[in-house]
Chain A
Amino acid sequence: MVTKLKEVDAVIVGLGWTGGILAKELTEAGLKVVALERGAPRSTDKDYSLPNIRDELRYVVRHDLMQNTARDTITIRNNPGQEALPMRRLGSFLPGEVVGGSGVHWSGHTWRWTDMEFKIRSNYEERYGKKFIPEDMTIQDWGITYAELEPYYDKFEYVAAVAGKAGNIKGQIQPGGNPFEAAREREYALPPLTPILASEMFSEAARNAGYHPFPRPSANATQPYTNPDGAKFGACQYCGYCQRFGCEANAKGSPHMTVIPIAMRNPNFELRTHSWVTKVLKDSDGKRVTGVAYTNLLNGEELEQPASMVLLCAYAINNVHLMLLSGIGEPYDPAAQKGIIGKNYCYQTGTGATLFFEGKFFNPFMSAGGSNATFDDFNVNWDFDRGPHNFVGAYNVSGGFNTALPIGYRPVPSGTPQWGSEWKRATAKWYQTAMTINAAGSVMANRYNCFDLDPTYRNAFGQPLMRMTFDYKTNEHKVGTHAAQVINDIAKSMNPTKLNPASARTDPWTVVPYQSTHNTGGTIMGTNPRDSALNKYLQSWDCHNLFVVGANVFPHNASYNPTGPVGALAYWTADAIKNRYLKNPQPLVPA
């Protein structure tokens, strides 16, 4: 027996950054909005303050803020020839499951992706010719421009209290910032984080090598701050518990202490937690969606929430899963290269070195989410000629720490036994002396990397699990090889006592250990319904009253963290709905 509820103007599935932004914006525009969130309500005062925080067992080992894989998970394989098996325990990536979503446990790194990404195929074809892009690399232009998104990046950065140093204001290069960034209209909301010794040493070595290091922009408030919506931030205390934790000082820009409480105060808004959406419902001709079906996890009751508009704002992977489960759009078939939903799943790649300096005291337990210095000479710098290296994409290099946990972070020189008294001696000796240099690399879309529904395994609701088919391709191996060389050259120039050098990964991707929660694609945006699931306003080409918001819309993955464009696109979509769609509910771009 399904209980059918009263129709509302909009139902939001998932209440993290994107759901929170849309909830706030649309309720302020007068819409009646219901948000359905799988997870529990949590707040800084009750949950993210001592003694409930800084607990590595609870948050890092037992994944307290993350998706519960006993209820729903995904199956994984490297290529279509393999049988996919369920991921029984989270590892490589950590989708959040709580009010605030992954925006509670992120580090705060906030970047502006530029036209280098949005016009990727055009850029490479123009400079290197069509043949430079491998045949199985299914990259495409996004159908949006940096100029269109700039005001929305700005909006998100000021809401989330992003601290940084501008490198380019209205075309004027700014000393101390990233000279390769796209022009911004004004400075960051807050000045950059205080550099730590490791990032200062890295910056000096990088500058000596001719690169252009700058402080990493991050939503870690460097001083008390009131955002444009009136949300109050405390100053970052450099306590070191950022990634995987909620912030006890209310210093990390998070939806649960910014956009969501504002929506909660609006009588137009209702939040239902512990609500698991199983399907988006369509009308009889399949041209519109009519609401969602969901289960109350606390009592098992099945409900239907009718709505004039459905906004999928869950974690990227779960948004794609819901599209496949609901039969919206044509599922992607990698063999025939037909269909769209599930296409262009991408991840990130990386490599890193650990440097040991006898006599140094880095105090790695004291850091903020963005306490690294970074350089983009091999990233958003189009003057870096990819031709001789024969790859598409980029990587950024950073040095320092963020969230080097007192228990979990145990750097030792390679060759040290992995347990026993010798390991104990080594970890005590080297803990204070180690710093890291890392590269984060892009992953280009490939015809074989994709999502579909698993033919065998099912979740607690009897629905097919999502199946992920993913591996790194030759292009990514080349990015990693180049990055490892650059990192090792810098590391050697710093004369460490010992060095665990970076090496390019060529082994297949696996679901352990943790790599990054930067899963992208599956319902990609674009210029036409043949090549994309959504138009540039993240509106479904198939059902015009369905919007799908999150990193699942990215046609490929850059080296930068995704939250900047995720937040900016949420505001962009909110404006498109408020200013255009509500007045004339139809496709915002002709098919």
Chain B
Amino acid sequence: MKVQIGGTASVLVLLLIGGAYADGDVTRGEARFQDCAACHKLEAGANNVGPSLHDIFTRKAGTLEDFRYSPAMKRSGIVWTPEALEKFIADPQATVPANRMPYAGMANPSDRADLIAYLQKMTK
């Protein structure tokens, strides 16, 4: 229990200083990715119900040519930094209203840090 509390606190601190996600746990992040895996793949070009997440941290939202995005996502102006994705995944409809991703959000900050640590490793 103590370990968990410490983990959460350190994540919050990291967020405040502008967020490396080095503290996120890649193994736990792989389990968190199960929330995404029915629709998103990590391989380049593998669009599914959702767009491929390959190289996500280098691109602007809504810009893969062969994926049909919602108008809301296309005009969001988001650049997918880890911080931007962390904010989006916490509450997708609040962050980009009228986007089409059928996902209610990942409430727990340490879960999100784990997920992003996993994505940082796996989407390159």
Contact = CB atoms under 8 A, between A and B. Distances in A.
A45 B35 CA distance: 17
A239 B34 CA distance: 20
Contacts of B35: 224, 234-235
A237 B104 contact: yes
B34 A49 contact: no
B48 A234 contact: no
B100 interface: yes
A233 B38 contact: yes
A240 to B, nearest CB: 12
A50 B100 CA distance: 6
B34 A250 contact: no
Interface in B48-101: 48-49, 70, 100
A44 B38 CA distance: 10
A44 B100 contact: no
A226 interface: yes
A236 to B, nearest CB: 9
B49 A250 contact: yes
B34 A248 contact: no
Contact of B38 (A50, A239, A250): A250
Interface string A235-271: 1010100000000111100000000000000000000
Interface in A212-242: 224-226, 232-235, 237, 239
B100 A234 contact: no
Interface residues of A, number: 18
Interface residues of B, number: 14
Contacts of A250: 38-39, 49
Given A51-B100, A239-B102, A249-B102, A234 B38 contact: yes
Nearest to A231: B38
Contact of A45 (B34, B37, B48, B102): B48
A50 B70 CA distance: 8
Contacts of B47: 45
Contacts of B102: 49-50, 234, 237, 239, 248-249
A44 B48 CA distance: 8
Nearest to A48: B49
Given A237-B104, A249-B102, A44 B49 contact: yes
A226 B103 contact: no
Given A50-B70, A226-B34, A234 B39 contact: yes
B49 A237 contact: no
Determine which residue in B35, B49, B70 has the highest number of CB atoms from chain A within 10 A of its CB, and name it: B49
B103 A234 contact: yes
A234 B38 CA distance: 5
A226 B33 CA distance: 12
A224 B38 contact: yes
Nearest to A250: B38
Interface in B9-68: 34-39, 47-49
Contact of A224 (B37, B48, B49, B100): B37
Given A45-B49, A248-B49, A250-B49, A237 B103 contact: yes
Contact of A49 (B36, B49, B104): B49
Nearest to A45: B49
A239 B35 CA distance: 17
Nearest to B41: A232
B104 to A, nearest CB: 6
Contacts of B34: 224-226, 232
Contact of B100 (A49, A226, A235): A49
Contacts of B49: 44-45, 49, 248, 250
Contacts of A226: 34, 37
Nearest to A251: B38
Nearest to A238: B104
Contacts of A225: 34
A235 B37 CA distance: 10
Determine which residue in A50, A225, A237, A251 has the highest number of CB atoms from chain B within 10 A of its CB, and name it: A50
B38 A232 contact: yes
A458 B103 CA distance: 48
Determine which residue in B35, B37, B70 has the highest number of CB atoms from chain A within 10 A of its CB, and name it: B37
11 contacts: A49-B49, A49-B100, A50-B102, A51-B100, A226-B37, A234-B38, A234-B103, A235-B104, A237-B102, A249-B38, A250-B49
Interface of A: 44-45, 49-51, 224-226, 232-235, 237, 239, 248-251
Interface of B: 34-39, 47-49, 70, 100, 102-104
